[in-house]
Amino acid sequence: MHKEVLLGNVDKIHTTEMGVGRIQKNLGIDDEPVGYCISKLKQDNAVVLKEGKNYYVEVDDCRITINSSSFTIITAHKL
């Protein structure tokens, strides 16, 4: 259910200028982080949980935190 909400609002998913560097550093990627996180969300094995005001996308070896009202990617971490 939560995954469908995020996929239905995929055009609204974004991050802040500070978020770009934080996500790239935490995940060890050079890719553009919003596109990278959306591609992770779209994977069949992505699990989406909602706790409080945030969605948590767990897939492969990472956890992506997305605010549920603004669809801002707050951070992402390797697990």
Retrieve residue 3's tokens: 């995954």
Q: Give the residue numbers spanning the domain of 38.
A: 2-78
Q: What is the CATH number of the domain that holds 71?
A: 3.30.2310
- The pTM for the full model equals 0.95
- If one counts the domains in the chain, the total is 1
- Backbone conformation region of residue 78, classed left if phi is above 0, alpha if psi is from -120 to 50, else beta: beta
The per-residue pLDDT for range 2-28, each reduced to its tens digit, is 999 999 999 999 999 999 999 999 999
The per-residue pLDDT for range 40-78, each reduced to its tens digit, is 999 999 999 999 999 999 999 999 999 999 999 999 999
